[in-house]
C-alpha cells in the first residue's frame, strides 16, 4: 500500500461474523460528504432497528482529515474508535462503516468488544481490493500519426490513462493525468504545441 495515497471502495460491501453467540454485521459504503455518510448510517440503522447496537465511523477528505465515530450505546471506546482506527490503518477516506450487533447473551468484555468491532471492519475491508483515490484532470490531445508514439513515450512516466481515442486525419486522445503531475505535463505539451506538433486543451 502506497501511503502517498488514500483508498476507498467501489461498491457497498458487507460481512457477518459470530463471536460467543453475538452476531456482528459490518457494512461499508463509499461516501463523499458528511451528509451522505449520515444518510448511510441512518439507513443501515433503520434497516436493523431491532439490533442491540449500530455503531459507526466515517472518514472524509483528500487527506482523510474529517472523521467521526460513535459507540452507539456500547461501553466508551469499545466500538466506534476501534472501527475508525481500523479504517485509518488502511489509509482510507471517503468511507463510512456501520457494525450492527445482535447480542447473543454472553458479555465479551472491553477487550473482546474492541477486537470484535475491529475484526468485523477488517474482514469487510479485505473482501476485495481497495481502490486508490486519485485526483485527476482531463486533457484532450490532437496529434499527428507520425508524432503519436513519441508523445505517448514522453508522457508515460507520468500517471495517465487514455480514456478515449478517435482516429481522423489526426489522432485525438482524451487522457487523465494526476493533478500532482499536471504542471510538468502542461509544460511539456505547451512546448510541443508551440512547435506545431500537437494541440491540447483541458
Q: Give DSSP secondary structure letters for 117-134.
A: HHHHHHHHHTTSPPEEE-
Question: Are residues 149 and 80 located together in one domain of the fold?
Answer: no
Which of these, 1, 2, 3, 7, lies nearest to 132 by C-alpha position? 7
- pTM here is 0.76
Question: Are residues 123 and 138 located together in one domain of the fold?
Answer: no
The kind and range of the H/E element at 104 are: none
Domain enclosing residue 47, as ranges: 6-132
Question: Which CATH number fits the domain that encloses residue 156?
Answer: 3.30.70.240
Question: Are residues 80 and 170 located together in one domain of the fold?
Answer: no
Asked if residue 79 lies in contact with residue 55, where contact means CB atoms within 8 angstroms, the answer is: yes
Residues 6+ apart with CB under 8 A from 194: none
Question: Are residues 123 and 146 located together in one domain of the fold?
Answer: no
Question: Are residues 127 and 138 located together in one domain of the fold?
Answer: no
**End of a domain among 98, 132, 166?**
132
Q: How many domains does the chain have?
A: 2
**End of a domain among 111, 132, 153?**
132
In tens digits, what is the pLDDT along the chain, a chain of 202 residues?
777 789 999 999 999 999 999 999 999 999 999 999 999 999 999 999 999 999 999 999 988 999 999 999 999 999 999 999 999 999 999 999 999 999 999 999 999 999 999 999 999 999 999 998 988 888 999 999 999 999 998 888 886 789 899 999 999 999 988 888 888 888 989 998 998 888 888 6
The kind and range of the H/E element at 90 are: none
Cell for 96? 463510512
Cell for 104? 447473543
Question: Are residues 58 and 153 located together in one domain of the fold?
Answer: no
Is residue 1 domain-resident? no
Question: Which CATH number fits the domain that encloses residue 60?
Answer: 3.30.230.30
Amino acid at each position: 500500500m502506497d501511503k502517498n495515497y488514500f483508498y476507498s471502495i467501489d461498491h457497498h460491501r458487507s460481512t457477518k461474523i459470530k463471536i460467543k453467540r453475538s452476531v456482528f454485521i459490518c457494512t461499508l459504503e463509499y461516501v463523499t460528504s458528511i451528509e451522505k455518510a449520515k444518510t448511510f448510517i441512518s439507513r443501515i440503522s433503520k434497516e436493523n432497528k431491532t439490533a442491540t447496537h449500530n455503531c459507526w465511523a466515517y472518514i472524509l477528505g483528500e487527506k482523510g482529515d474529517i472523521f467521526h465515530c460513535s459507540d452507539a450505546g456500547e461501553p466508551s471506546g469499545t466500538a466506534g474508535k476501534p472501527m475508525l482506527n481500523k479504517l485509518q490503518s488502511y489509509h482510507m477516506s471517503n468511507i463510512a462503516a456501520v457494525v450492527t450487533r445482535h447480542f447473543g447473551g454472553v458479555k465479551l468484555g472491553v477487550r473482546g468488544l474492541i477486537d470484535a468491532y475491529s475484526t468485523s471492519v477488517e474482514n469487510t475491508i479485505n473482501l476485495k481490493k481497495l481502490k486508490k483515490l486519485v485526483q485527476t484532470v482531463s486533457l484532450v490531445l490532437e496529434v499527428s500519426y507520425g508524432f503519436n508514439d513519441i508523445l505517448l513515450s514522453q508522457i508515460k512516466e507520468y500517471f495517465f490513462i487514455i480514456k478515449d481515442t478517435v482516429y481522423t486525419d489526426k489522432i485525438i486522445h482524451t487522457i487523465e493525468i494526476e493533478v500532482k503531475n499536471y504542471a510538468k505535463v502542461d509544460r511539456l505539451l505547451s512546448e510541443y504545441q508551440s512547435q506545431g506538433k500537437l494541440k491540447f486543451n483541458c
